[in-house]
Amino acid sequence: MEKYPDVDAYLAASQQWPDEIAALRPILVDTGLDEAIKWGKPCYSHGDANIVIVQEMKDFLALLFTKGALLDDPDGVLEPQGPNTRSAMRICFRSVDEVTDRAPTIAAYVENAIAVEDAGLEVGPAPEPDWVEELRERMADDDAFRQAFDALTPGRRREYNMHFSDAKKPETRMKRIEKYAPKILAGKGMRDR
């Protein structure tokens, strides 16, 4: 296996899952993927497409398939990254033995991910969420607000809707909408300055 200095340095600095990453690394490289550090993590790609990213979490090591939702999962090992994840799916490991035991499965899933990429498959757009009632009312009553909200990216609209709908009381939802109305009217997301 060819050694990549940036991944070697990452492994040397890893304190949580270095042995598990070291066990995972040759499996990934043996599938023909190129390895590099992207977003501060070991990333394995095929051509210009990122196939998997190694993520060190507190309680587990994750192998995140960027288009995991399009993969076959005969072994039932793929997990969503979170409740709002649409595309990425991951396999989680908690020991070197788990990595070793799943080596054939990992290789097969990587091969499937490469085939998905080569076929040009893409995860379709997310369906429009059900907007929280107070947000729908505000949009119905204020055309400028509705136009500004509709002009936001789909991700920003979903993030606002999730934040508003997390409140249990209608009054709190309205307060949140009013608090963020200036940002929405300015075309900004919740985290934008």
Summarised one tens digit per residue, pLDDT across range 49-64 is 999 999 999 999 999 9
The pTM of the full predicted model, rounded to 2 decimals, is 0.73
Checking if the pLDDT of 71 tops 60, the result is: yes
Instruction: Please give the average per-residue pLDDT across 76-99, as a whole number.
Output: 91
Q: What is the pLDDT of residue 2?
A: 54
Number of H helices, E strands in the chain: 8, 6
Instruction: Please give the average per-residue pLDDT across 116-143, as a whole number.
Output: 91
pLDDT grade for 3, boundaries at 50, 70 and 90? low
Q: Using CA atoms, how far apart are residues 122 and 113, in angstroms rounded to an integer?
A: 12
**Paired tokens of 9:** 């340095």
Instruction: Please give the average per-residue pLDDT across 168-193, as a whole number.
Output: 95
Domain ranges for the chain = 5-118, 133-185
Q: What is the pLDDT of residue 1?
A: 47
Q: What is the pLDDT of residue 127?
A: 76
Checking if the pLDDT of 97 tops 50, the result is: yes
Give the residues across from 35 on adjacent strands.
44
Checking if the pLDDT of 120 tops 60, the result is: yes
CA 135, 86, 150, 140 dihedral sign is: negative
Q: What is the pLDDT of residue 105?
A: 97
Burial of 130 (0-12, 13-18, 19+ CB in 10 A): exposed
Higher pLDDT, residue 175 or 154: 175
Average pLDDT for the chain = 93
Residues 133-162 have pLDDT tens digits of: 999 999 999 999 999 999 999 889 989 999
Q: What is the DSSP annotation of 58-123?
A: SS-EEEEETTGGGS--TT---EESSTT-SS-EEEEESSHHHHHHTHHHHHHHHHHHHHHHHTT--P
Q: Which CATH number applies to 5-118?
A: 3.90.1150
Ramachandran assignment for 132, one of left (phi > 0), alpha (psi -120 to 50 degrees), beta (any other): beta
Residues 12-40 have pLDDT tens digits of: 999 999 999 999 999 999 999 999 999 99
